[in-house]
Amino acid sequence: MGLRVLVVDDVRAALDALCRLLRAAPGVDDVRAAPDTVSALREIQADPPDAVFLDIAMPGLSGLELASLLARLNDPPVIVFATAFDGHAVDAYGIGAVDYLLKPVRAERLAEALTRVRRMVAARAVPAPRAEPDTLPALPVEAGGRTRYVRRGEVRFAEAQGDYVRLHTASGAHLVRMPISRLQEYWEDFGFSRVHRGYLLSLAAVRELRSDSVGGMLAHTDAGDVPVSRRCARTLRERLLAAARGGERRAP
């Protein structure tokens, strides 16, 4: 579908001239006219347009004031100012207008403004990505009759111990009743990688990769070394490289 636009101007000749140009412009399907800002508000409330072309100097509510009101809407139209005065451009762009046309408006200049309008309309049509809930950012740890919370960012690696995991941090280790497979489900998208059947490793904690005495790989952290299985070694290297380049989706 083409653009639906509303033109607002209290000077009839200027209103008609801009409407004619818009109706002749490619990609514009519907052009409506309003002779004042009050009529414009009614039009916008009844059938919201994609864009509003506004004069500035109008009796009652000015074009700048109307644009400020429209900017507060949940889904505001794109604003383009069309005026005989060049002294309001800073205010216009400050409100969020995508263009500022000087009268008499030329067809070439209008085409540029319509291109900006289409880009803005298209950008608004793309739904914002849904934020995924941050599940389990910390784990409760019981010690000495007290409960403290170990934050995910403190954990260098988790070690499986049956139905428990031992969380290794720079300040010590903490035992939590949870299988490592379940913890992996919660933390894998937040900078952790399963590098061994019994270990879940924080990518941010890795200082270097080392070879062990039998030709295997160890990931060195300030809380200790973590064995990396041959099956997981390539994936770990790729994820570390992506993290170094800023490609990891989440950090711990």
In CATH terms, 3-125 corresponds, of 1.20.1330.10, 3.30.450.40, 3.30.1020.10, 3.40.50.2300, to 3.40.50.2300
The DSSP secondary structure of 110-132, one letter per residue, reads: HHHHHHHHHHHHHHHHSPPPPPP
State the amino acid at position 203 in one-letter form.
Answer: L
**Prior bond to 49 cis, omega within 30?**
no
Q: Say if residues 54 and 66 touch (Cβ distance below 8 Å).
A: yes
Helix, strand, coil percentages in the chain from 3-state DSSP, rounded to 5 = 35, 30, 35
| Residue 219 pLDDT class (50, 70, 90 cuts) | very high
Q: Which CATH class is domain 138-244?
A: mainly beta
SS3 label, residue 70: helix
Q: How far apart are the first and last CA of the chain?
A: 44
Domain with CATH 2.40.50.1020 in the chain: 138-244
Domain with CATH 3.40.50.2300 in the chain: 3-125
Give the residue with greater pLDDT, 196 vs 91: 196
pLDDT at 247: 52
Give the residue with greater pLDDT, 147 vs 37: 37
- pLDDT (tens digit, 9 = 90+) per residue, 102-139? 999 999 999 999 999 999 999 877 765 555 566 688 88
Spatial separation of the C-alpha atoms in residues 206 and 162, rounded to whole Å: 25
In the chain, % of residues over pLDDT 90: 66
Q: Is the pLDDT of residue 249 over 60?
A: no
Residue with tokens 């880009």: 119
Q: What is the mean pLDDT of the chain?
A: 89
Beta-carbon contacts of 145 under 8 Å, excluding residues fewer than 6 positions away, are none
- The most distant pair of C-alpha atoms in the chain lies apart, rounded to whole Å, by 88
pLDDT at 127: 67
Which of 163, 213, 220, 162 is closest to 195 using CA atoms?
A: 220
pLDDT at 181: 93
Q: Say if residues 149 and 184 touch (Cβ distance below 8 Å).
A: no
Spatial separation of the C-alpha atoms in residues 151 and 110, rounded to whole Å: 55
